[in-house]
Chains A and B, each alone.
Chain A
Amino acid sequence: MAGRTQPIIRTLAVGGAPAALLLMLTLGTLVAVFLRADGVGALGPAEWAAIRFTIWQAFLSALFSCVLAIPVARALSRRSFPGRALLIALLGAPFILPVIVAVMGLLAVFGRAGMLNAGLVWLGLPPVSIYGLQGVVLAHVFFNLPLAVRLLLQSWVEIPAERFRLAASLGMGPAEIARYLERPMLRAALPGIFLAIFLICLTSFAVALTLGGGPRATTVELAIYQAFRFDFDLGRAALLGLVQVCLCLAASVLALAITNPSAFGAGLDRQVARWDAAGPWLKAQDVMALALTAVFLLLPLALITLRGLAALPGLPEAVWAAALRSLLVALGSAAVTISLALPLAMAISRASAGAASALETLAMIPLATSSLVLGTGLFLVLRHYADPATLALPVTAAANATLALPFATRILLPSARAVEADYGRLADSLDMTGIGRLRLLTFPRLVGPLRFSAGLAAALSMGDLGVITLFADPQTATLPLQLYRLMAAYRMEDAAGAAVLLLGLSFALFWIIDKGARPDARA
């Protein structure tokens, strides 16, 4: 074991830098807000109600997203058909949409004047209302089901083909496959996915308020807004930010405790053939799952596109300039994300169990960080060193990278662990370290997840309004900000056109970066 000591220390040092940066950007900004506050009072009944509602809606949203993702990911994992790769990529689109655009798309289907109610009225049935807890959960599932499907699919295709061959040669049917291969995999993968979605929904604000139908649907994030800009009470804003971080830590500890790592061992990256899934009943079930999901996720996107396409060619020059800035920010953010997430994932995969849990939890904190607190904290610190407007775009890229880091780490981690478990000892025995190990072992094994997480980081950054609102001047608007400005100037048609541009660019960016890395038969 002596030979292993040195690389471990080095790896932890490598993982320490991104971890420290992460701490600074999340907890550090929170502390900056606390320090500027004039004192901190206790939480009132309204805040406790907001905390309860926040947890409940996040729990339901994560639950539905995970449960619905299982049949979809299973169908995608055991079927091959023309257009499968495109479908997988398209299904991911809602996740990278700016909130306001996605809400408008959902309302075009489920709203009072939406297609669903038009259909119900035509059939002589009473209309249904999207506004309320059901709408909040529906929207969160719309956003996060794609993430759940994609992460789960990755775990599914990472069950080595050899295990399915063995199962087939032992004469296992679908029930045994589910019991011996799929359930252990789900047991390993689902808690982490549930946690990620729960945490994303914890900081929901615009979706919860717009579709929640009123003050009943007050979340912690809205309470932070209120503290900031209605009561001008920084102390309470920071306290509520701390509540979010505590909820995040508690949920992470719980999720890690019930995760049961799978142990399928290494495979030879063969094409998976699924002899077990040939039956017509299973086939029909898979077709149904895929068709329903495609309609649910793609119809709102199609309606957004139809509504805005006409305005696209005539968009003002300022919108195109903003699009270019957003592209640069997105690429910068993706580069920063990867250069932080890769060392972090490598460090977690090599660290002792305790250190790994701590780092993994740390990597999730940005999900539960209020972007208002993050932005304000950064603003408070940075304004002493430079004019905030000159920093608008780099700060936006850095903040977006921080927020994308939990996803990138979660995507990279299973593969990083597998590389370490399957090839780590071999590499150590060959004294393969540093750049050589990275180039010959890590990159080739991780190229798929790396491209996926970079694509996701870029697309997320593209659609994020985030901290830019605190820093931008007239000349540094990003595309989402420009979209909001168009709306604020009554130009709803141009805004719809800008939404299509944003959707198209985000998706193209994601597609190009991720291309070749989609888990087809076997990435």
Chain B
Amino acid sequence: MRKSLMIAGLLATTTPFSAVAQDKPVLTIYTYDSFVSEWGPGPAVKAAFEADCGCDLQFVGSGDGAALLARLLIEGADSPADIVLGLDTNLTAEAAASGLFAPHGQAPALDLPVGWSDPLFLPYDWGYFAFVYDKTKVDTVPSDFEALAASDLKIVIQDPRSSTPGLGLLLWVKQAYGEKAGGIWSELADNIVTVTPGWSEAYGLFLNGEADAVLSYTTSPAYHLIAEGDDTKAAMPFDEGHYMQIEVAGKLAASDQPDLTDRFLAFMTTDAFQSVIPETNWMYPAKTPEAGLPEGFGTLVVPGKSLLYPADEARSIRDEALAEWQAALSR
């Protein structure tokens, strides 16, 4: 027993931040796990902000956007977080209703395909959901959901109950087809190989050849092009438009570092933050950096039409959309 206590003690001391930077103010940012990972935007953003804030920026990662919000709601007003970064517009209504957020007070010029006026949440990146396929294996590319359903292409999607892209797809079909959404899902049922808990599993299945296409983003092919020199992946452009994911940050009303928080939110839409996004998060930056987008982003499919429910509508319609999805795919 003593030995296990020693090990526990050893483990506890390997945790950083225990003794460093005690004199500096600490800015705590809750975000999703892939943001803080070695390969996400976290490390570069932390270094850039700490260079002249005279503070210690601590990222706390937990799961994905929805897990993040769940954690915040559990903690309530005594959450140690100053900023929550990583919710999307399908989650912000729930977050706003909690009363935990304060107005961000920023008015930067943004490069979004839609207007933005949310007083509580400020975008830092965005993308379009899309089905990604392998150009060498798919000859006829469907131009909308009906064509996809009529084809014999096999797709893998994510479960809206456990994945934010899965929820995005649910709302995409709902907004594009309205009353007919349930029928679209019924017709798609025989194209769906399987439904995975999260994006990673789905994308892994696709790359291993289990499906012809996977629900991901129009920006996904940029990863293969830029990081792997592989130009065989592409997104299917759909005529009915593509649903957007806009990722946002919000300031907590109970933050004990209001000045640092404001400073970070202002920093978030500057080049130092925005230029990190394309090649770490593989999304479009909310404000295009002065140097432009990396080469390779120019080759991506740009949808002719952007779909997006306002936050409140997304919240009110998702239960109905989920019920249609479940009914159609459970048969």
By a beta-carbon cutoff of 8 Å, the part of chain A in contact with chain B is 36, 46, 100, 103-104, 107-108, 111-113, 131, 205-206, 209-216, 222, 225-226, 228-230, 232, 234, 316, 318, 325, 328-329, 331-332, 335-336, 339, 376, 379-380, 383, 387, 389-394, 397, 469-470, 472-477, 481-482, 484-492, 495
CA distance A329 to B15 in the complex (A): 13
On chain B, the residues within 8 Å of A212 by CB distance are 194
Q: A216-B330, A329-B11, A379-B74 are in contact. Are A485 and B4 (CB under 8 A)?
A: no
Q: 3 tightest CB-CB pairs across the interface, nearest first?
A: A113-B209, A489-B39, A487-B200
The answer to whether A111 touches B210, judged by C-beta atoms less than 8 angstroms apart, is yes
Q: Is B313 an interface residue (CB 8 A)?
A: no
On chain A, the residues within 8 Å of B17 by CB distance are 389-390
Q: A214-B330, A215-B159, A393-B12 are in contact. Are A209 and B210 (CB under 8 A)?
A: no
On chain B, the residues within 8 Å of A318 by CB distance are 38
The answer to whether A107 touches B159, judged by C-beta atoms less than 8 angstroms apart, is no
The answer to whether A113 touches B80, judged by C-beta atoms less than 8 angstroms apart, is no
On chain B, the residues within 8 Å of A46 by CB distance are 326
CA distance A482 to B280 in the complex (A): 16
Q: Is B180 an interface residue (CB 8 A)?
A: no
Q: How many A-B residue pairs have CB under 8 A?
A: 201
Q: A108-B208, A215-B325 are in contact. List 6 more A-B contacts (CB 8 A).
A: A209-B197, A215-B329, A225-B197, A226-B162, A328-B11, A473-B58
Output the least CB separation between A465 and chain B (Å): 11
The answer to whether A232 touches B192, judged by C-beta atoms less than 8 angstroms apart, is no
Chain B, residues 65-94, CB within 8 Å of chain A (1/0): the string is: 011011101110000100000000000001
CA distance A11 to B180 in the complex (A): 67
Output the least CB separation between B297 and chain A (Å): 15
Q: List 13 A-B contacts (CB under 8 A).
A: A210-B194, A210-B201, A215-B195, A215-B330, A222-B159, A232-B70, A234-B74, A332-B11, A336-B4, A394-B11, A484-B200, A486-B39, A489-B39
- Quick one: which of B12, B37, B80, B280 has the most chain A CB within 10 A? B37
Q: Is B161 an interface residue (CB 8 A)?
A: yes
CA distance A470 to B329 in the complex (A): 31
Q: Is B7 an interface residue (CB 8 A)?
A: yes
Closest B residue to A380 by beta carbon equals B74
Q: Is B60 an interface residue (CB 8 A)?
A: yes
On chain B, the residues within 8 Å of A394 by CB distance are 8, 11-12
Q: A113-B209, A215-B330 are in contact. Are A392 and B15 (CB under 8 A)?
A: yes
Q: Is B115 an interface residue (CB 8 A)?
A: no
Contact of A383 among B33, B75, B162 (CB under 8 A): B75
The answer to whether A229 touches B66, judged by C-beta atoms less than 8 angstroms apart, is yes
By a beta-carbon cutoff of 8 Å, the part of chain B in contact with chain A is 1, 3-4, 7-8, 10-12, 14-18, 33-34, 36-40, 42-43, 58-63, 66-67, 69-71, 73-75, 80, 94, 154, 159-162, 167, 189, 192-197, 199-201, 203-205, 207-211, 220, 223-224, 227, 280, 282, 322, 325-326, 329-330
The answer to whether A316 touches B16, judged by C-beta atoms less than 8 angstroms apart, is no
The answer to whether A474 touches B67, judged by C-beta atoms less than 8 angstroms apart, is no
Output the least CB separation between A38 and chain B (Å): 10
CA distance A212 to B197 in the complex (A): 11
The answer to whether A332 touches B203, judged by C-beta atoms less than 8 angstroms apart, is no
Output the least CB separation between B158 and chain A (Å): 10
On chain A, the residues within 8 Å of B18 by CB distance are 390
Closest A residue to B95 by beta carbon equals A232
Closest A residue to B325 by beta carbon equals A215
On chain A, the residues within 8 Å of B63 by CB distance are 229, 469-470
The answer to whether A490 touches B61, judged by C-beta atoms less than 8 angstroms apart, is no
Output the least CB separation between B319 and chain A (Å): 8
The answer to whether B7 touches A332, judged by C-beta atoms less than 8 angstroms apart, is yes
Contact of A389 among B10, B15, B201 (CB under 8 A): B15
CA distance A472 to B58 in the complex (A): 12
On chain B, the residues within 8 Å of A488 by CB distance are 33-34, 37, 40, 199-200
Output the least CB separation between A447 and chain B (Å): 18
CA distance A92 to B63 in the complex (A): 30
Output the least CB separation between B33 and chain A (Å): 7
